[in-house]
Structure formats: C-alpha cells, structure tokens
Amino acid sequence: MRLRRVSVVLLLAGIGAATACREPIVPRGPAQLYQLAREQIRNENYLRAADTLARVARESPDSPEAVRATLTRWAILAGLARSSLALGRLYREAGERAAAESDRGEFGTAARNHLALAQSWSLALLDAVDEQLPRLAGRTLLLDALLPLQPPPEQPVERMLRAGLRVTESDRKVIERDALRRAFAEVMAALAGARGDSARAETRLSRPQASVEPVDVFLTFGQEFLHLSALFAREVLDNPGYFSLFHEKALGLAETVLGRAAADSAEAQAAREVRAACQRVLRPAPTS
C-alpha cells in the first residue's frame, strides 16, 4: 500500500489527474457561477466548487446566490476538515494496532498526511467564517441541498483498517470517500437544525427556497470549531496557540447563540455545553 500525500489531496478534493489544471477565469454572472459549482459538487470536485462559490460571494455579494454560496462553501471546508481529522485518527489507531513494523510506518505516514490536511482545512474555515459572517447579517439564510445528506454506513474494510489490518488501495479510497460524505452529511444536518437526524435534514433542505436559522448557523460552526480544536491538542499536533484560538472562536459563537435563542431551547442548551467546554480550556480553575 503506497501512501502519498498527493493522492490524499486529490481524493479528498475530489479532483483527478485529468482535472488537475484550473479552469480559466472567465466573466460569469452569479447564477452561472453557482450552477457551475453545483455541477462541480455533483462531480465531487469539491475544491473547485469551493473556489467557484468564493467567486460568487466575492464578485456578487448582494446577489441572491451569495448567501447560498457562502454557506455551502463553509460546509465544504468544514466537511473536508472534519473528515481529514477523522481519517487521521483512524490511521493512527490502525498504526497502534498493526502487527508489522512496516504497516505501522505506513499507517503513521497516512495519519500525518490527513492531520496536516485537517489543519489546512480548519484554518481555511476559520478565516472564511471570520471574514464572511458579518456579511450575512439581516439576510435570509438560503441553503440548497447540494452536498450529500445521507451518511454512508461503516464498511467492513473500515473495521479491518481500524484493527490494524492491511486493506487494498481501492478499499482505502472507499473509506476516505465515505468519511468525506459522512462529514458533509453531519455538517448539513447541523445547519438544518437537525444534528444527528439526516432524514429530517433532508426533508428541510429539499424544500424550494429552503432556509436555515441564524442560531443554527452560529451553533453549527461553534460546535465545529470546538470539535476541530482537538486537532491542535498536545497529543495530536500540539499547537497551543491554535488550540486556544479555536476555543475562543467557538466560545464567541456560543455566546451569540445564547444572546438570540430562548433560554430553554435545545440550541441554548447545546450552546451552554460549548461555552462550558471552552471555558474549561480558556479559564482553567486555579490550582491550590
């Protein structure tokens, strides 16, 4: 099993060697660009789609497509980050359980590659939310069901890999593709206010002119930043600066939810959990 960083990048981004060159940037209106992104997502060219959606928001910020483009791009970045973190953990676990030293080395290399990708996607997501969130204020948050909404079940080959056993290159690609689709489904369900309930999320997002609630957007990315902060913990990438930064961003979004949601709502309860987790890191109890 040959593990190469470039193969991981191409797999997760959904772009093959035949599509490695970028399309030339030509003048297009927001509706045309959004339709292009839709086709790119359908073809699983997620990096290209993220670039195209960024163009929509940047070049036509007041267009009806800009909000859809912004939220979908955030969901793509979050899915890439979440799946890369999950795969990094999976290959680490495989390396710890592998019997052969050569397998341990290969799984360790794969884990490091995926964790490096997770860092890149996480920071891109953080920057995007920081930059674009203020532009969504007061707008109807329309979101189309462009990304996968149904998480695939765990395959037997994933359980084999988790146990430290070798799997074929084609099986490894299936595992990695499923991880990405699972991450997209989780993020989209959260945005729809239906975290953990993909069927309800699909019903909500399949309606014409489907929109999501601002508190669900704030809560989703607060929870995502808290989840992704684990990437920078001492036992993973050991980056205290980013570890604190992601907790700070998660805390800020949780406080925003608490300022908007009813005190007894499920959203407020989830935001209080995020806030408590962040405060334990950012304001540790004094030692006696």
Residue carrying the six token digits 């003048």: 27
Query: Are residues 179 and 244 both part of a single domain?
Result: no
pLDDT on residue 8: 43
Give residue-wise pLDDT tens across range 81-109. 999 999 999 999 999 999 999 999 999 99
> Which of residues 187, 212, 237 is at a domain's end?
212
Could you tell me the pTM of the whole model?
A: 0.89
Query: Are residues 129 and 27 both part of a single domain?
Result: yes
pLDDT on residue 208: 86
Query: Are residues 232 and 208 both part of a single domain?
Result: no
Query: Are residues 261 and 236 both part of a single domain?
Result: yes
Query: Are residues 151 and 261 both part of a single domain?
Result: no
105: Cβ–Cβ under 8 A, 6 or more apart, which residues?
95
> Which of residues 153, 179, 212 is at a domain's end?
212
Domains held by the chain: number: 2
Query: Are residues 121 and 221 both part of a single domain?
Result: no
Average pLDDT, the chain: 91
Query: Are residues 60 and 181 both part of a single domain?
Result: yes
Q: Which domain holds residue 267?
A: 214-288
Query: Are residues 163 and 56 both part of a single domain?
Result: yes
Query: Are residues 159 and 95 both part of a single domain?
Result: yes
Give residue-wise pLDDT tens across range 113-146. 999 999 999 999 999 999 999 999 999 999 999 9
Give residue-wise pLDDT tens across range 198-251. 999 999 999 989 999 999 999 999 999 999 999 999 999 999 999 999 999 999
Contact between residue 37 and residue 72 where contact means Cβ atoms under 8 Å apart: yes
Query: Are residues 169 and 278 both part of a single domain?
Result: no
Contact between residue 185 and residue 148 where contact means Cβ atoms under 8 Å apart: yes
**What is the average pLDDT across 36-49?**
97
DSSP string covering 167-210 = --HHHHHHHHHHHHHHHHHHHHHHHTT-TT-HHHHHHHHTSTT-
> Which of residues 212, 233, 259 is at a domain's end?
212
Query: Are residues 163 and 244 both part of a single domain?
Result: no
Query: Are residues 35 and 9 both part of a single domain?
Result: yes
